Structure 1
Amino acid sequence: MRTRTSAAALVLSAGLLAAGCGAVDGEPVASPSASASAATVAASPSTSASSAPATAVVTATAGVGEQVKVSVEWGPKLLALGDRPDADACQMPGSFMCQNLLTAHLNAYTGVIEAISEADAGDRYRSSVEQIERMVADARGYDADGCAGDPSAGDDDSSCEGYATGVLIGALTLKFDLETDELKAGLG
């Protein structure tokens, strides 16, 4: 149930960025701490107090006229998602460990959206925002199909594994999208 809330928050953020708005969850982005707090609260799972997912904290800021390369901060964080000890948890897509891993990825994607929004750079990162929208669509499919906790989620006729893979593989894809968007924007 909480994954749906996380996905909805990400979709809303991505949609606002794609439209050129500097807002998250319908609120103008005023400061890094305010926007990061909103993302962290929106993306925090309620499944267990011991699940403690990675939280998205935004540190990239830009002065007036300064262009921030979001990949400098978020590229290594996205790569690190694949190095987690539970990185293979979604071999069993219905498992609690898979849910936690998906939540960690969604939290990171929220952080990327926050950094793009804070830098007022939605136009420069259009491909990255589109990639996040695809991953959120997979998260929504995972939630809508009831994959979380479903012992048959890994069966051949289940779409759950595909949804989970879409969310997870997106981290590496997103890193390259960020870098490509920056090259296209002349941020070299």
Structure 2
Amino acid sequence: MRARTVITALLLAAAATAGCSNAGDAKPTKTVTSTPASPAAAATAATGDLAPIWTPKLDAAAGPNAEATGACQTPSSSECARYIKEIMVVVDGVDAAINKTGKRYPQSTAQIVKMRDAQKVYTDEGCEGDPAADDPNSRCHAIMTITVGPATLGMTLMTDDLTS
């Protein structure tokens, strides 16, 4: 149990570090639709742990150095809309995987609900392509829940894996 706690702490620290971004280091991104599972992830699949399988996919959807957060400083941009769509496709996969396990993932499920709520605001407000969406007082900035969501969801998956 102690080794698992140490591993969890290291993974949380790595996830927090991966979430840091330097806006000046923006690089072109490419669409990532799937990340192959590593041998370690395949091995943990037998135990039912979701974090080792889904955290890399969430990170890939958010882009290198969590580029989605930087791109969505301008919620109206097509780049932001692309990241939102890619992240939420992976989130839908996480949700389906949670349902398939038959286990309770309360923190992860709560995070998924928050992300879906933010996506609904983004869609309902018509944020993509609307210059008014970029106003700091716009409700469209609720999408930050989605752009930081991959790191948060990855951590909650680890926690829920340990407790479920």
Pairwise TM-score range, normalised by the shorter structure: 0.5 to 0.7
Compute the TM-score of the two structures, normalised by the length of structure 1: 0.60
Separation in structure 1 between the aligned mates of residue 120 and residue 63 of structure 2, nearest angstrom: 24
Q: Which amino acid aligns with 1:119?
A: T
**CA distance change for structure 1 residues 79 and 57 in 2, over 3 Å: closer, same or farther?**
closer
Query: Does the alignment pair 1:152 with 2:106?
Result: no
User: For the structure 1 residues 116 and 56, does the alpha-carbon distance in structure 2 shift closer, same or farther, using more than 3 Å as the test?
Assistant: farther
**Aligned residue identity for 1:182:** D
Q: Does the CA-based 8 Å contact 1:113-1:129 persist in structure 2?
A: yes
The amino acid of 1:151's aligned partner reads: P
Residue 181 (str. 1) matches residue 163 (str. 2): no
Q: Secondary structure at the match of 1:157?
A: coil
Specify every segment of 5 or more residues in structure 1 that has no aligned partner in the other structure, as ranges: 1-51
Q: Which residue of 2 aligns with 1:135?
A: 115
- Counterparts of 1:32-71 in structure 2, within 5 Å, are 54-55=32-33, 67-71=47-51
Report the counterpart of residue 5 of structure 2 in structure 1.
none
Distance 2:155 2:107 in 1: 10
Query: The residue matched to 1:138 in structure 2 has which SS?
Result: helix
1:90 matched residue in structure 2:
72
Residue 79 of structure 1 pairs with residue 54 of structure 2 = no
Identify unmatched segments of 5+ residues in structure 2.
1-29
Once the two structures are TM-superposed, the CA of residue 127 in structure 1 deviates from its matched residue by 1.2
Give the superposed CA RMSD. Answer: 2.6
Tell me the CA shift for residue 102 of structure 1.
0.2
Residue identity opposite 1:169 in structure 2: V
Q: Which amino acid aligns with 2:94?
A: V
**How far does residue 55 in structure 1 lie from its aligned partner after superposition?**
3.7
Q: Deviations over 1:82-106 (max 9, x none)?
A: 4338532212101111110000110
Cα distance in 1 between the residues matched to 2:92 and 2:121 = 18
Mapped pair 1:168 → 2:147: yes
Indicate the percent of aligned positions where both proteins have the same amino acid. Answer: 31
2: CA distance, partners of 1:57 / 1:149: 29
Q: Which amino acid aligns with 2:122?
A: Y
Offset at residue 170 of structure 1 (A): 1.0
Q: Compared with structure 1, are the counterparts of its residues 110 and 58 closer, same or farther at alpha carbon in structure 2 (3 Å cutoff)?
A: farther
Displacement after TM superposition at 1:58 (Å): 10
4+ residue segments displaced more than 4 Å: 56-61
The change in CA–CA distance for 1:175 and 1:106 in structure 2 (over 3 A counts) is: same
| 1:48 corresponds to | none
SS of the residue aligned with 1:93? Answer: coil
CA distance in structure 2 between the partners assigned to 1:83 and 1:55 by the alignment: 11
Tell me how far apart the structure 2 counterparts of residues 112 and 131 of structure 1 sit (CA, whole Å): 11
